[in-house]
């Protein structure tokens, strides 16, 4: 006798829909039922949270959430590009756009939401877009190729994502937000102010407290301007509406299912609608608590609740498994490069709640905790520095072991270890996307034999959603492994199980010349074939540059794949400044410069209207260059004999010096000559962090050598070498490594020291921190680089000789190559157009950034002469 399998029809295949299918598969339902999916989009479920990464090279296929072969293994019938258009509840059928009629025993609506477009005149003008799907982004990218200015309507999460995308496409970018601050739902007034300052410093023009009154078209019928509610007007070629979303509940309305007053299919705690055969999950549903959730984590919770109830019904049992009565709406995102997080009662709505604040406007950091009268942590807002989010959010609802003000201190400023992940109770939710507790993470290690973060992710799903919990997850896994006696590996990141030092050796010995090869051959299995992460990409870029001569690769940081690994500064071989302009820093070894070269610098500064300043490192910085001016400026400087000062790179900056025995009556050695020799020897040497040095001609220490990564002080018997010094926020005096050295001995020891540091330091680790971290500290370093205890010195010296022999000035190389020069434009779609937001005003006979431009419409750039007029 043939038994007909029950049919489950899923309408919609987004992130929540795919999570529902996975839960059905985990419960074995796909083997006991026919599952049909009607999907509107032309592609399977993808990670909509990472949608903006498409503008930086991620392909839609890389965003896919569907494992290869998943549908086939579980017998799921996926019908792409064929959405449901009609539900017949009486006949229990769904009609698709193609005309196909699919009968169902159980129907699950996962139709999500649609972008809300305010009903303003002109909203349908050519050049107006929404920001929701891959197709939306492809359309925006294509249209932006012929535009110079874009405006985003909405300053919330998606609005700032869209603004970042437009800025990345080279458009002058405006954000218009009706509320008095950016991200009004997530952050408070102080957090909004800090976020606005940082966003404006990046060159995005922000307009808050105003609405969009009308979109006007030009003669060709496309967008030309946007008129605002305060009477002002913005000239713009492109408009992106990102003013929130609304539930897609029209199918439910049309078939008579109850919906909420503000939309959303009404469901109970198991996500059942008024019809027991119909469920609704995700953004199209109004949950049992009366809310419509627009985040993926609550949608996942609904998917699990519905799958559990359906699994029980399929087996003829009473509903079992999880229920959904509400969700944590905490969020952590990086918007326009700015960390933003909010959790719990972020606005202090609870009666009697108190605020604890930490703010550093110079660094763009704002932190607020909301606490109850009894010390209970109720919620918080973090802008600019959200590293503590992974620990603070799980502590919500508890009384922390330390005063709340200590929880807000910057890293390294005395925050006690008692507030770390290990102090969390087992019931604390570590991953809100998948509702995974600390206890579940510990159980994955102790009971399910998971031995690393990837295996814990696979076992619990923790860290596979938004990713904000990965740091906390890693700490918990390491703690649990260590408690069980397992030696914990210190991999660089989730992509590599190797440390930076180990990757250094892998690259050197394997003569690896590309990030892709390194990831495919030595990355974690699940990371191979991917694109890496924000930790490993710049780290490997630095390694490849450091070892280029040794492995036979091009040392030029913008060749081929290397270009995609660089940050903004290295990408343009210049330091990005707060108003979107760049600084030019030619190398001046030892601070010694001829009158002729001084004149060239002066002429360049005058002709290009640049601000000039003598630095603490004995150089002259030229500020205010637009990106398209950089090649013209450097052409003149290179012709005059200048080289790149590498102020933009993690490399040697300067070797400062006093005037030494040549001029000073106290000098005992020629410090200027030695400083010049050292700077020319180590110029362009890429390292884990920037390097600074100095040479003092006597013990009076005028060059401040003991505050440098490596410093040299003259004695009557030669040179003393100091290492591991650091100025800045956490100053450290350098330690004496060796004394009374002649010139040859000094250079040999510095060669060894620098190459040993590059070989063994962690990413972004200064020599000062490295020296304190490395086992054995200074004595071990002395044994290795002075006594050659490991037999490495010949190899270290050889690597340095290869660097010295292979050095070529990056700017000279750039000027010789038209293809390399083509990247230096403000707008890729209008190469000759300067960025109109880069403007200046006069100050003390020079110029400074005109930050007022960020609060108003763009005006033409002014030169120094025009600004002074």
Question: Is residue 289 over pLDDT 50?
Answer: yes
Q: Which residues contact 333 (CB under 8 A, 6 or more apart)?
A: 157, 339, 340, 341, 466
Task: Verify that 425 and 413 share a domain, yes or no.
Answer: no
- Mean pLDDT, residues 204-224 taken together: 93
b (16+ CB within 10 A) / e for 309-340: bbbbbbeeeeeebbbbeebbbbbbbebbebbb
- Mean pLDDT, residues 709-730 taken together: 89
Task: Verify that 79 and 149 share a domain, yes or no.
Answer: no
Distance of CA 461 to the CA centre of its chain: 22
User: What angle, 0 to 180 degrees and rounded to 10, lies between the N-to-C axes of helices 536-546 and 500-510?
Assistant: 40
Question: Is residue 575 over pLDDT 70?
Answer: yes
Contact 514, 561 (CB under 8 A): yes
Question: Is residue 332 over pLDDT 90?
Answer: no
Q: Is residue 397 part of a domain?
A: yes
What is the per-residue pLDDT across 74-119, written as a single tens digit (0 to 9) for each?
Answer: 999 999 999 999 999 999 999 999 999 999 999 999 999 999 999 9
Q: Which of 83, 132, 124 is nearest to 245 (CA)?
A: 132
Question: Is residue 565 over pLDDT 80?
Answer: no
What pLDDT is attached to residue 567? 63
Task: Verify that 110 and 145 share a domain, yes or no.
Answer: no
Question: Is residue 51 over pLDDT 90?
Answer: no
Q: Which residues contact 787 (CB under 8 A, 6 or more apart)?
A: none
Cβ-based burial of 505 (10 A; exposed 0-12, middle 13-18, buried ≥19): middle
Domain boundary among the residues 283, 314, 345 is at: 314
Position 855 confidence tier, pLDDT thresholds 50, 70, 90: very low
Q: Which of 456, 459, 451, 450 is nearest to 472 (CA)?
A: 456
Question: Is residue 401 over pLDDT 80?
Answer: no
Q: Is residue 821 part of a domain?
A: no
3-class secondary structure, 793: helix
Q: Which residues contact 516 (CB under 8 A, 6 or more apart)?
A: 561
- Helices (H) and strands (E) counted in the chain, each on its own, are 29, 38
3-class secondary structure, 377: strand
DSSP bridge pairs for 381? 342, 368
- Mean pLDDT, residues 813-817 taken together: 88
Instruction: Note down the domain range covering 446.
Output: 420-485
What pLDDT is attached to residue 854? 42
* Residue 14: CATH number of its domain: 3.50.50.60
Domain boundary among the residues 485, 509, 533 is at: 485
3-class secondary structure, 830: coil
- Mean pLDDT, residues 506-526 taken together: 86
Global pTM reads: 0.59
CA quadruple 48, 51, 53, 54: dihedral sign: positive
Task: Verify that 293 and 412 share a domain, yes or no.
Answer: no
Q: Which residues contact 192 (CB under 8 A, 6 or more apart)?
A: 180, 181, 182, 183, 184
Residue with structure tokens 């009154």? Answer: 213
List C-alpha distances in Å: 748 to 652, 694, 698, 725, 781: 17, 17, 21, 19, 14
Task: Verify that 785 and 660 share a domain, yes or no.
Answer: yes
d(CA 265, CA 108): 11
- Mean pLDDT, residues 281-285 taken together: 95
Angle at 113 between CA 137 and CA 67, to 5 degrees: 65
> Dihedral (C-alpha) 142, 145, 148, 154: value to the nearest 10 degrees?
20
Cβ-based burial of 192 (10 A; exposed 0-12, middle 13-18, buried ≥19): buried
Task: Verify that 221 and 335 share a domain, yes or no.
Answer: no
Q: Is residue 140 part of a domain?
A: yes
> How many other C-beta atoms lie within 10 A of the C-beta of residue 400?
19
What pLDDT is attached to residue 563? 60
Position 262 confidence tier, pLDDT thresholds 50, 70, 90: confident
| CA max distance for the chain | 109
Q: Which residues contact 784 (CB under 8 A, 6 or more apart)?
A: 752, 756, 790, 792, 793
Run of H or E including 501: helix 500-510
Q: Which of 34, 47, 4, 175 is nearest to 106 (CA)?
A: 34
Question: Is residue 358 over pLDDT 50?
Answer: yes
Position 744 confidence tier, pLDDT thresholds 50, 70, 90: very high
Any idea which of 458-467, 562-571, 809-818 has the lowest mean pLDDT?
A: 562-571
3-class secondary structure, 476: helix
Q: Which residues contact 862 (CB under 8 A, 6 or more apart)?
A: 839, 840, 841
3-class secondary structure, 23: helix
Task: Verify that 477 and 506 share a domain, yes or no.
Answer: no
What is the per-residue pLDDT across 596-625, written as a single tens digit (0 to 9) for each?
Answer: 999 999 999 999 989 898 888 889 999 988
Q: Which of 359, 343, 566 is nearest to 466 (CA)?
A: 343
Task: Verify that 426 and 414 share a domain, yes or no.
Answer: no
Alpha helices in 375-531 (DSSP H): 389-395, 404-407, 438-446, 453-460, 470-483, 500-510, 515-522
Range of 265-279, 306-320, 512-526, 760-774 with top mean pLDDT = 265-279
Contact 365, 383 (CB under 8 A): yes
What is the per-residue pLDDT across 627-683, written as a single tens digit (0 to 9) for each?
Answer: 889 999 999 999 999 999 998 888 999 999 998 888 888 889 999 999 999 999 999
d(CA 196, CA 190): 10
DSSP state for residue 3 in the 8-state scheme: P
DSSP bridge pairs for 575? 583
Tokens of 311: 């699994």
d(CA 460, CA 472): 14
Q: Is residue 301 part of a domain?
A: yes
What pLDDT is attached to residue 420? 65
List C-alpha distances in Å: 834 to 23, 145, 842: 53, 16, 20
Task: Verify that 708 and 625 share a domain, yes or no.
Answer: yes
Task: Verify that 236 and 339 share a domain, yes or no.
Answer: no
Task: Verify that 451 and 582 share a domain, yes or no.
Answer: no
d(CA 603, CA 592): 19
Percent of residues, the chain, with pLDDT higher than 70: 90
d(CA 281, CA 275): 14
> Dihedral (C-alpha) 823, 828, 833, 834: value to the nearest 10 degrees?
-60
Position 339 confidence tier, pLDDT thresholds 50, 70, 90: confident
d(CA 417, CA 23): 37
3-class secondary structure, 582: strand
Contact 390, 423 (CB under 8 A): no
> Dihedral (C-alpha) 633, 639, 642, 646: value to the nearest 10 degrees?
50
Question: Is residue 865 over pLDDT 50?
Answer: no
- What domain count does the chain have? 6
DSSP 658-680: --HHHH-TT--S-HHHHHHHHHH
Q: Is residue 259 part of a domain?
A: yes
Give the end-to-end CA distance of the chain in Å, rounded to a whole number.
96
Percent of residues, the chain, with pLDDT higher than 90: 42
Q: Is residue 849 part of a domain?
A: no
User: What angle, 0 to 180 degrees and rounded to 10, lies between the N-to-C axes of helices 536-546 and 515-522?
Assistant: 110
Tokens of 798: 């050889």
Question: CA neighbours within 13 Å on the CB side: how many for 319?
Answer: 16
Task: Verify that 164 and 89 share a domain, yes or no.
Answer: no
Rg (C-alpha) for the chain, rounded Å, is: 30
Q: Is residue 471 part of a domain?
A: yes
Contact 186, 342 (CB under 8 A): yes
- Mean pLDDT, residues 128-148 taken together: 91
Run of H or E including 656: strand 652-657
What pLDDT is attached to residue 835? 72
- Mean pLDDT, residues 24-46 taken together: 93
User: What angle, 0 to 180 degrees and rounded to 10, lies between the N-to-C axes of helices 470-483 and 438-446?
Assistant: 40
What pLDDT is attached to residue 320? 66
* Residue 398: CATH number of its domain: 3.30.390.30
Contact 477, 452 (CB under 8 A): yes
- Mean pLDDT, residues 514-539 taken together: 82
Domain boundary among the residues 243, 275, 294 is at: 243
Question: Is residue 410 over pLDDT 70?
Answer: no
Tokens of 131: 């920001």
Run of H or E including 578: none
d(CA 814, CA 805): 19
What pLDDT is attached to residue 746? 97
Cβ-based burial of 828 (10 A; exposed 0-12, middle 13-18, buried ≥19): middle
Q: Of all residues in the chain, what percent are helix, strand and coil, respectively (each to 5)?
A: 35, 20, 45
Contact 835, 808 (CB under 8 A): no
Q: Is residue 830 part of a domain?
A: no
Pairing of strands 377-383, 365-371: antiparallel
Is 861 or 757 the better-scoring residue by pLDDT?
A: 757
d(CA 179, CA 266): 29
Question: Is residue 125 over pLDDT 50?
Answer: yes
d(CA 832, CA 827): 8
DSSP state for residue 364 in the 8-state scheme: T
Question: Is residue 215 over pLDDT 90?
Answer: yes
Residue with structure tokens 């209207």? Answer: 609
* Residue 442: CATH number of its domain: 1.10.10.1100
Contact 378, 371 (CB under 8 A): yes
């Amino acid at each position: 006798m043939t038994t007909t399998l029950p049919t489950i029809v899923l309408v919609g295949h987004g992130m929540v829909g795919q999570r529902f299918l996975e839960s059905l598969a985990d419960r074995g339902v796909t083997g006991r039922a026919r599952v049909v999916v009607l999907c509107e989009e032309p592609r399977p479920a993808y990670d909509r949270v990472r949608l903006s990464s498409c503008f930086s090279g991620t392909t839609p296929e890389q965003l896919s959430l569907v494992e290869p072969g998943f549908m086939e293994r579980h017998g799921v019938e996926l019908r792409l590009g064929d959405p449901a258009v009609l539900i017949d509840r009486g006949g229990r059928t769904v009609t698709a756009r193609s005309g196909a009629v699919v009968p169902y025993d159980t129907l699950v609506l996962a139709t999500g939401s649609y972008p809300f477009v305010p009903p303003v005149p002109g909203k349908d003008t050519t050049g107006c877009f929404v920001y929701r799907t891959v197709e939306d982004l492809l359309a925006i990218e294509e249209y932006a190729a012929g535009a110079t200015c874009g405006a985003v309507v909405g300053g919330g999460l998606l609005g700032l994502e869209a603004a970042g995308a437009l800025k990345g496409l080279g458009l002058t970018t405006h954000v218009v937000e009706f509320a008095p601050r950016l991200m009004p739902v997530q952050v408070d007034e102080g957090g909004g102010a800090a976020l606005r300052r940082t966003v404006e410093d990046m060159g995005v023009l922000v307009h808050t407290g105003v609405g969009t009154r009308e979109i006007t078209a030009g003669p060709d019928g496309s967008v030309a301007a946007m008129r605002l509610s305060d009477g002002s007007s913005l000239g713009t070629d492109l408009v992106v509406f990102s003013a929130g979303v609304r539930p897609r509940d029209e199918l439910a309305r049309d078939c008579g299912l109850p919906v909420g007053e503000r939309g959303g299919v009404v469901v109970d705690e198991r996500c059942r609608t008024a019809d027991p055969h119909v469920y609704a999950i995700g953004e199209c549903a109004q949950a049992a608590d009366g809310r419509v959730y627009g985040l993926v984590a609550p949608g996942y919770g609904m998917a699990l609740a519905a799958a559990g109830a359906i699994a029980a019904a399929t087996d003829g049992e009473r509903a079992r498994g999880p229920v959904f009565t509400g969700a944590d709406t905490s969020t952590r995102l990086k918007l326009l490069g700015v960390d933003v997080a909010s959790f719990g009662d972020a606005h202090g709505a609870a009666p009697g709640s108190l605020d604890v604040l930490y703010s550093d406007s110079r660094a763009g950091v704002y932190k607020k905790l909301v606490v109850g009268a009894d010390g209970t942590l109720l919620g918080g807002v973090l802008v600019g520095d959200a590293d503590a989010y992974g620990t603070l959010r799980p502590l919500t609802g508890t009384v922390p072991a330390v005063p709340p003000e200590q929880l807000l201190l910057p890293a390294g400023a005395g925050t006690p270890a008692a507030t770390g992940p290990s102090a969390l109770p087992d019931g604390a939710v570590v991953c809100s996307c998948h509702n995974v507790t600390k206890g579940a993470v510990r159980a994955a290690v102790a009971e399910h034999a998971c031995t690393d973060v990837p295996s814990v992710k696979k076992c619990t799903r923790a860290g596979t959603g938004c990713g904000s919990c990965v740091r906390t997850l890693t700490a918990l896994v390491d703690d649990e492994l260590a408690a069980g006696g397992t030696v914990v590996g210190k991999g660089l990141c989730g992509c590599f199980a190797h440390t930076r030092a180990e990757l250094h050796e892998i690259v050197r010995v394997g003569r690896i010349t590309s990030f892709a090869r390194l990831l495919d051959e030595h990355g974690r299995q699940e990371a191979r074939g991917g694109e890496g992460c924000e930790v490993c990409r710049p780290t490997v870029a630095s390694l490849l540059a450091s070892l280029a001569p040794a492995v036979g690769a091009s040392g030029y940081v913008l060749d081929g794949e290397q270009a995609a690994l660089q940050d903004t500064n290295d990408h343009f071989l210049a330091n990005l400044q707060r108003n979107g302009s760049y600084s030019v820093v030619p190398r001046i070894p030892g601070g010694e410069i001829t009158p002729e070269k001084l004149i060239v610098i002066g002429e360049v500064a005058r002709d290009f209207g640049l601000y000039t300043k003598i630095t603490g490192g004995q150089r002259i910085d030229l500020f205010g260059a637009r990106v398209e001016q950089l090649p013209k400026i450097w052409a003149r400087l290179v012709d005059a004999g200048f080289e790149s000062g590498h102020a933009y790179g993690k490399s040697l900056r300067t070797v400062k010096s006093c005037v030494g025995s040549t001029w000073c009556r106290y000098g005992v050695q020629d410090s200027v000559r030695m400083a010049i020799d050292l700077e020319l020897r180590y110029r362009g040497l890429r390292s884990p962090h920037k390097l600074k040095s100095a040479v003092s001609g006597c013990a009076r220490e005028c060059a401040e050598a003991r505050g440098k990564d490596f410093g040299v002080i003259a004695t009557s018997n030669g040179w003393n070498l100091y290492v591991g010094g650091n100025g800045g926020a956490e100053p450290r005096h350098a330690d004496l490594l060796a004394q009374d050295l002649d010139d040859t001995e000094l250079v040999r020891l510095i060669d060894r020291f620098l190459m040993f540091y590059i070989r063994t330091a962690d990413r972004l680790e200064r020599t000062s921190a490295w020296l304190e971290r490395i086992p054995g500290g200074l004595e071990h370093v002395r044994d290795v680089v002075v006594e050659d205890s490991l037999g490495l010195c010949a190899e270290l010296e050889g690597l340095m000789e290869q660097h010295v022999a292979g050095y070529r000035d990056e700017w000279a190389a750039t000027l010789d190559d038209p293809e390399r020069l083509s990247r230096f434009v403000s707008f890729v779609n209008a190469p000759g157009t300067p960025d109109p937001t880069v403007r200046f005003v006069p100050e003390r006979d020079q110029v400074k950034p005109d930050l007022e431009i960020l609060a108003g419409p763009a005006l033409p750039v002014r030169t120094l002469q025009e600004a002074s007029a």
